[in-house]
Chains A and B, each alone.
Chain A
Amino acid sequence: MTTRTRKIVIAGVMGAVSVFLGATHLGFIPWIAGAALTIMHVPVIIGAVLEGPLVGVVIGLIFGGFSFIQAAIAPTGPADVWFTNPLVSIAPRLLIGPVAWLAYRAFRRWFDAPSFAIAGVAGSLANTALVLGVIEFFTYVKPDNRFTIKLPWQAAGTIAVTNGLPEAVLAALLTFAVVASYKRVKTRRTGSSI
């Protein structure tokens, strides 16, 4: 089985899952204060863990591209104002895959299955940090407000904690559940819990 064909197909399929999650309410899990936790980035992480960093970049590109198109065509919330800037919606997402993959490889030496969860956490935090970072960086560097408006540091910090951390937990859980099942990995749990 050619790995190349496989990579192409996994990238396509996971990209579709990401788009699907973003376009329906399934991709957003309601959280406090009306905001929602997103899981659109999880297909990127899973694709990267299964097939490597390059596939992760491609899926990230699809995720970011869709996020951008959605913000431009059918914006739904305040975040979409920033997401019309491709530097905010696309560029950071390209790195989610490689970061997740690196985390997975690094920890695989010591644990087997938990490394999936760690990859999930790493990828999710990368998404949160990079997106918020670009928004902050952009507005900080250009005082005459080229493209976006200033998001105060405090707001970014709050979002990072109240949204970013739970999202990381969710991503870890989902990545673990899917990849451990798919790869039929043996973990410490050797049987059902009943």
Chain B
Amino acid sequence: MGKDTMGERTDPAAKTRREGRLEFDLFDGIRIGRYSEVHAPLHALDARVKLLLGVLLIAGAAASQGISSQLLILCAVTAGFPAARVRLSEGFRPLIPVLPFVFALALLQLFAVPQFRADARVLWEWGLLKISTRGLAAGVLLVTRFTAIVAGMSLLSAITTASDLASGIEHLLRPLQKMGVPAHEFSLVLGISIRFVPVLTEEASRLMKAQASRGADFGYHKTNFVKKMRTMLPLLVPLFLTSLRRAQNLVEAMESRCYTGGKGRTYMRRPKAHPADLFALACAACVVGGAVVLSVFGADARMWRWLGKVL
């Protein structure tokens, strides 16, 4: 099994340039997210709590409308980074590649938002282009919400391992089992997936080398669509076929170990909630609650009015 971590997608070109290799073996660094090996207070949280924090984050950012709410969430996340011993520069790193797009979209917001509301004041006009307060608000909202979510997920992935993910989901879904939802089966599926990805990485690396050695050309300079497809097939088809073959082997292995489904299965390790977990949950709930409150009570409207008076 590969590394039991979640990490980020590496930039293949830079890696190969550093190592002097040709275009293969760029799968070595495949990870999803950025788990850091350091052990900090937040790493010790129960797996289920980590997942719940993620859910709260998304729900909070999605549900709240105002910029102030997003900023509140963002502040909470930023405060969380030291608790996970992650440097702020590392934590906010995932944002960098997308910032140009986000700002471009925000700019679009500025001009595109229709002016339905009566309290929308036009700030600036030039021919057909109008920037209104609503447009400005929408643009800033987009940027802050996106930042809050990405920073939050970055923090979470720093403290969550792949095992945590699999086990967290399994135990969270367990109560649903009684209601007939096949939670156990689903978390087994997830577990298999997570453990299989490193295998695929290695397999694909070997396949690329083997096919290149026998005449397949993987250069992307081919402009012909047909040619491009023909170069992908020797890589993709065997990948799928060996995956299916391994699936077959796994089924046989499971059955020869008397696997007959989820009924009555016991666990070797049962997760227990500690006070720290409840504390973390409570904090997150407060933050999200605060964000919603701010949104509902129109803190944003007040803020804009104040800004309007000042400017």
Direct contact of A and B (CB under 8 A): yes
Q: Are B229 and A173 in contact (CB under 8 A)?
A: yes
| Distance from A10 Cβ to chain B, minimum over Cβ atoms (Å) | 5
Residues of A within 8 A of B189 (CB): 8, 11-12, 15, 58, 62
Which of B80-88, B197-205, B275-283 forms part of the interface with chain A? B197-205
Using A13-B192, A29-B228 as known contacts, list a sample of 7 further A-B pairs with CB atoms less than 8 Å apart, ordered by residue number in A: A5-B251, A10-B247, A15-B192, A73-B33, A74-B33, A178-B244, A182-B240
Any A CB within 8 A of the CB of B146: yes
Which of B109-117, B173-181, B264-272 forms part of the interface with chain A? B109-117
| Distance from A123 Cβ to chain B, minimum over Cβ atoms (Å) | 15
Residues of B within 8 A of A145 (CB): 109, 113, 138, 141
- Complex-state Cα separation, A76 to B32, whole angstroms: 13
Total of A-B residue pairs, C-beta within 8 Å: 191
- Complex-state Cα separation, A181 to B21, whole angstroms: 33
Q: A24-B204, A74-B8, A178-B240 are in contact. Are A19 and B112 (CB under 8 A)?
A: no
Q: A8-B188, A12-B196, A73-B157 are in contact. Are A166 and B225 (CB under 8 A)?
A: yes
25 contacts between A and B (CB under 8 A): A1-B255, A12-B191, A16-B199, A17-B200, A19-B197, A23-B9, A24-B9, A24-B12, A29-B229, A30-B220, A43-B240, A46-B240, A50-B244, A62-B193, A69-B33, A72-B149, A76-B9, A81-B142, A84-B150, A143-B114, A145-B113, A145-B138, A146-B65, A149-B112, A182-B241
Cβ-defined partner of B142 (8 Å) among A144, A149, A173: A149
| Distance from A181 Cβ to chain B, minimum over Cβ atoms (Å) | 6
Cβ-defined partner of A17 (8 Å) among B26, B101, B146, B239: B239
Residues of B within 8 A of A107 (CB): none
Any B CB within 8 A of the CB of A2: yes
- Complex-state Cα separation, A163 to B271, whole angstroms: 46
- Complex-state Cα separation, A86 to B237, whole angstroms: 30
Q: A15-B193, A69-B32 are in contact. Are A84 and B229 (CB under 8 A)?
A: no
Contact bitstring B135-163, A, C-beta under 8 A = 1, else 0: 00010011000100110011001000000
* Contact surface of B with A, Cβ cutoff 8 Å: 8-9, 12, 26-27, 30, 32-34, 58, 62, 65, 94-95, 97-98, 101-102, 104-105, 108-109, 112-114, 116-117, 134, 138, 141-142, 146, 149-150, 153-154, 157, 185-186, 188-194, 196-197, 199-201, 204, 220, 225, 228-229, 232-233, 235-237, 239-241, 243-244, 246-247, 250-252, 254-255, 259-261
Q: A5-B254, A13-B244 are in contact. Are A75 and B98 (CB under 8 A)?
A: yes
Any B CB within 8 A of the CB of A25: yes
- Complex-state Cα separation, A58 to B196, whole angstroms: 16
Q: Are A73 and B94 in contact (CB under 8 A)?
A: yes
Q: Give the contacts of A81-138 with B (CB-CB under 8 A).
A: 81, 84-86
Q: Are B153 and A73 in contact (CB under 8 A)?
A: yes
Any B CB within 8 A of the CB of A26: yes
Q: How many chain A residues have a CB neighbour from B under 8 Å?
A: 59
| Distance from B41 Cβ to chain A, minimum over Cβ atoms (Å) | 21
Q: Are A144 and B116 in contact (CB under 8 A)?
A: yes
Q: Are B196 and A174 in contact (CB under 8 A)?
A: no
Residues of B within 8 A of A178 (CB): 236-237, 240-241, 244
Q: Are A177 and B233 in contact (CB under 8 A)?
A: yes
- Complex-state Cα separation, A74 to B157, whole angstroms: 10
Q: Are B243 and A24 in contact (CB under 8 A)?
A: no
Any B CB within 8 A of the CB of A14: yes
Residues of A within 8 A of B197 (CB): 16, 19-20, 23
Q: Are A58 and B30 in contact (CB under 8 A)?
A: no
Q: Are A84 and B149 in contact (CB under 8 A)?
A: yes
Residues of B within 8 A of A182 (CB): 240-241, 244
Q: A72-B150, A75-B150 are in contact. Are A80 and B247 (CB under 8 A)?
A: no
Q: A17-B200, A24-B26, A73-B150 are in contact. Are A81 and B101 (CB under 8 A)?
A: yes
